[in-house]
Amino acid sequence: MPSKLPAPHLKIHNFLPADAHAALFQWTLANEARFTASGVGAEGKVDHAVRRSQTLSDLGPSHTVVEDAVRNGYREWVQALRSSMFEVGDVELQLAAHNDGAHFQRHVDTQVHAPSGTSIRALSAVYYFFREPKAFFGGALRLFPFGAGQHEQTCEAVEPEQNTLVVFPAWAMHEVATVRCPSQQFADSRFAVNCWLHMQR
């Protein structure tokens, strides 16, 4: 029987220094034109019924800052989640902008994909940032119990918080609840950096 407890997760508040957080936000706004419709699966097929958002796999100068912070913290996170320790190979980073109507149906992150070839995502993390005052609502990360099916209702809703990283096992079923952004302006979006730590092979 699958557990009825939602998958474990961690919240790391003030994940980036204030200057790094501000730099990432400004770089994201400056690169609005480069964002494209989000894909799903290894082939990156666009299917708005499953996932509606915009993404960019380029963090500019912030890439090294975010990757270093993730690599430096992951061992402590794995221990806190009581998961099996692993050595990190690739760190996959993706900027995501969720505007009005954006969502992502329930899924797991363990697809085989990596910049350097074949590997497996072992740990997922989502870093939230947005303009103040917050101009959107919704967009919670919903975490389901391990082994949950598509019709499982038990979940924990983790609301996006400014400059906060949420970490959870990549095999945990999760979804992004629908975002509402009345202005529909890009700058008012629910922004995130999706992070995937790949197990070294």
- 41 lies in some domain: no
- 2 lies in some domain: no
For residue 183, give its domain range. Answer: 10-31+49-199
- 16 lies in some domain: yes
CATH code, domain with 161: 2.60.120.620
Total structural domains in the chain?
Answer: 1
Enumerate residues 6+ apart whose C-beta is below 8 A from 156: 6, 9, 142, 143
Enumerate residues 6+ apart whose C-beta is below 8 A from 180: 100, 101, 136, 137, 138
What are the tens digits of pLDDT across the range 178-193? 999 999 999 999 999 9
| DSSP assignment of 146-201 | TT--TT----EEE---TTEEEEEETTS-EEEPPEE-TT--GGGSEEEEEEEEEEP-
- 135 lies in some domain: yes
- 138 lies in some domain: yes
What are the tens digits of pLDDT across the range 42-98? 778 999 999 999 999 999 999 999 999 999 999 999 999 999 999 999 999 999 999
- 161 lies in some domain: yes
- 79 lies in some domain: yes
pTM for this prediction: 0.94
- 43 lies in some domain: no
